[in-house]
A and B are shown apart, each in its own frame.
Chain A
Amino acid sequence: MTVRALQQISTGRNGVGTFILQCKKMDFHYCDWAGSSKGMNGFIKSLLPKFAASNAQVEFAVSPRPSKHPVIIAQYINGREKSICVRNMEPYEILKKAEILRDGSGEKNRRTAKPVQSINESVRGVWSPYHGNGLKV
C-alpha cells in the first residue's frame, strides 16, 4: 500500500549550473621540411603560445609529422575527435580553424531547425481536444 520508488538517474545539461568546454585536447602536427607546413610553423612560433595560454582548459600537444601535411586534431569529452588539415594556410587562417575546433561540441554536424532545444516540459502543456469549448463543425 505504501508508495514504492522507481530508480531514475538525473541528467546533466552542459551550461546549466556550470559550463564545461567540450574540447579536451588539441594536437598540432607539422613538418619541418615541407612547404605546406610553412604557415603552421609560423603559427606554432607566433600565435600558439598565446592561444594555449588563453585556453587553459585544453591540453595542447605539438609534435612533428614528417612528410605529411600539417593537421590539427581535437579530442572531445564525448569521445569523438575532429581533425582539420591546414596545408598551405596562413597563420591567422590556422588560428580560425583552431578556434572552430576548440568551440565545437564534438557532436556530428547536424542541421538544427528549431532555435531552442529543451528537455523541460512545455509550460503550456499538450493541447487536448477534450478540454475547453471545443470546435463547432
Chain B
Amino acid sequence: MKRLRIDRWTGQLLLARSGPSPASTPRAAALRSAAVPRCTAVRSQSTIAVPQIPKEDDDHHYDGTDHTRFPPLEQLPPRATSLPSPPPERALQSAKLAALHARLSLPERLPLQTLARTLVDASADENPQFSNTNLAFVGQSLINYHVAEWIMCRYPRLPMSIMYAAMKGYAGPTSLHQVARSWGVEHAAVPGGEVDPGLLQFSMHKPGDAVIGFGYRRAEADGLKKHKWRHGMSSRVVFDDDFGEVVDTEDAKDELRLRADAEYGNEYTRSLAEKAYATCARAVTGAIYAHAGRERAKAFVEAHVLSRTLDLSKLFVFKKPTRELSLLCAREDFEPPVARLLSETGRLSRTPVYVVGIFSGKDKLGEAAGSSLEYARTGAAMNALKSWYLYSPGEGVRVPSDMLAEDAAPWEPAYIDMGEIIGH
C-alpha cells in the first residue's frame, strides 16, 4: 500500500473548509491542525481563503487560481456539522440529488428537499420530521397493496405460502434494495449534517426504531425462532407482516451488533444496509404519492417493481404431489388421474429416459421426462399441479385500483378461486 504523504497534499484537501470542521473525529482534527503550517508553501487549488495562511504568501507563490473563475466550494451553514442529517436547504445545491431526480423521471412537483428527505434513514436521524420513516410507511403500504392486488388478480389460484413468497420476491426488502441500487443511489460512509444530501444516509451501528409496515409482535416470537414452534398459515395471515414473516425482535441480534463495531462488515451490517436501501425505495414511492398523487405512484410501482421478472413456477415445493393431484381431481369432479408412459428409450442402458403423462379421462393434465419411472411420474404430477395453481385470466387483467380512475369502465368481478388443496 502506498504511504500517505500528508506534507505533499494540496490545500484543497486540508484547508478547504474555513467554517465548521468537516471532520468531527479528534484524530482528523489533529491531523489537519498539524498539517496547516506545512501547507503554506504548497500550491493551493482551493479557492477559499484560509485564515491561517498569511496574506503575503500569495505574493511570493502564485497559486495559479483565478478566484473569479473558480467560485468557492459550498459554504456550509453554521452548525451543519453538529446536525444528524443535512439541513433541507442544502438539497438545492446537491448535484447528485438533481441528477437522481432527473434519472428517475420524477414529477416536477416533487421538490428536491423531499427527495433529500427520502435518503435519510431513521438510523441516521431519529427525528421523524427529518427522516424518511413516514414517507416509507406510505410507500410500503402502496407498494404492497399494488403488488398484492396484481398477484391476486393475475394468479387467483396461488396457495397462500406461494403468494407470500411472490410478494416478498417482488416487494421484499432484498428486491427493493436492488431496485434502489439500480437507481444509482450511493450511501455515505457515516451520516452527518455535512454530508452531500444526495447520498443515502444510515448508521451501521444502530438499527433505528422506525416502524415501517404492519404486523403484530407475537408474544411467542422467541419460541418460534428458538424452538421452531409450529405456526400455521392462518395465524401468519392475522399476526405477521405483509410477507407472512414473524415481526422481528431485535434482541436476537445483540451479538452480531457487538461484532459490527469491530469488523468491517458482517451479516448484521449487510442487513442494515439492505433495510436502508429498501426503505429509501419505499420512501421515494411515498413521496411521489404525497406530491403527485395516486396515479403517478401506481405508475411508479408498475414501472419499477412489477415490471421485474419472477418465475413463479420455481417457487413451488411439493411433498406428495401425486396424492395432492388425486385430491384435486376428486374435489373438482375430474376422473381420477392415471399415469401413462408416453415414450421411453434406453430402459436397459445407463441413461434411460421415460416420458410420463398424467391423464384424467382423455385429458392430459401434465407431462414430464425423467430417468426413472417414479421420477417422471412425480414430475408429471408436479407439472399438472403447477398448471392448475398458475392459472391466469391473462396479462391484461384488471385490478381493483383501476376503478379509482375517473373514466374507468364498470367493474367485472375478478376470478376468485375456492382455495388450495388441503389434504391430510
Contact = CB atoms under 8 A, between A and B. Distances in A.
| A, B: real partners | yes
A4 B161 contact: yes
Interface stretch (B93-101, B285-293, B410-418): B93-101
Nearest to A55: B102
Nearest to B43: A66
Q: Place the interface of chain A in its size category.
A: 35 or more
A109 interface: no
Q: Place the interface of chain B in its size category.
A: 35 or more
B99 A57 contact: yes
A10 B99 contact: no
B4 interface: no
Contact of A59 (B96, B311, B318): B96
Nearest to A32: B64
Given A10-B308, A20-B104, A4 B182 contact: no
Interface in A75-90: 77
A76 to B, nearest CB: 8
Contact of B304 (A18, A21, A66, A120): A18
A3 B318 contact: yes
Interface string B102-120: 1111000000000000000
Nearest to A66: B64
B316 A5 contact: yes
Main secondary structure of the interface of A (DSSP, over half): loop
Interface string A1-13: 1111111111111
B102 A57 contact: yes
B103 A57 contact: yes
B5 to A, nearest CB: 18
Given A9-B175, A10-B170, A3 B162 contact: yes
B178 interface: yes
A60 interface: yes
A129 B311 CA distance: 26
Interface string A104-133: 000000000000000110000000111100
Nearest to A18: B303
Given A17-B303, A20-B103, A12 B317 contact: no
B27 interface: no
> Considering residues A7, A56, A61, A131, which has the most beta carbons from chain B within 10 angstroms of its beta carbon?
A7
A67 B95 CA distance: 27
A92 B316 CA distance: 57
A57 B102 CA distance: 5
Nearest to B300: A18
A46 to B, nearest CB: 16
Given A5-B317, A6-B317, A8-B310, A18 B105 contact: yes
B323 A1 contact: yes
Interface in B312-342: 314-320, 323-324, 342
B308 A14 contact: no
Contacts of B174: 9
A23 B304 CA distance: 18
Nearest to A8: B169
Contact of B161 (A2, A11, A32, A129): A2
13 contacts: A9-B169, A9-B178, A12-B179, A12-B307, A12-B308, A17-B307, A18-B105, A18-B307, A20-B104, A24-B103, A59-B95, A120-B309, A130-B345
Given A13-B308, A17-B304, A77-B184, 5 more contacts: A1-B320, A1-B424, A17-B302, A32-B64, A56-B102
Interface of A: 1-14, 16-18, 20-21, 24-25, 32, 56-61, 64, 66, 77, 119-120, 128-131
Top 8 nearest A-B pairs by Cβ distance?
A17-B307, A56-B102, A5-B165, A10-B308, A10-B310, A18-B303, A57-B103, A77-B184
Interface of B: 45, 64, 70, 95-96, 98-99, 101-105, 159, 161-162, 164-165, 168-170, 172, 174-175, 178-179, 181-184, 198, 233, 302-304, 306-311, 314-320, 323-324, 342-343, 345, 353, 355, 369, 385, 389, 420, 422-424
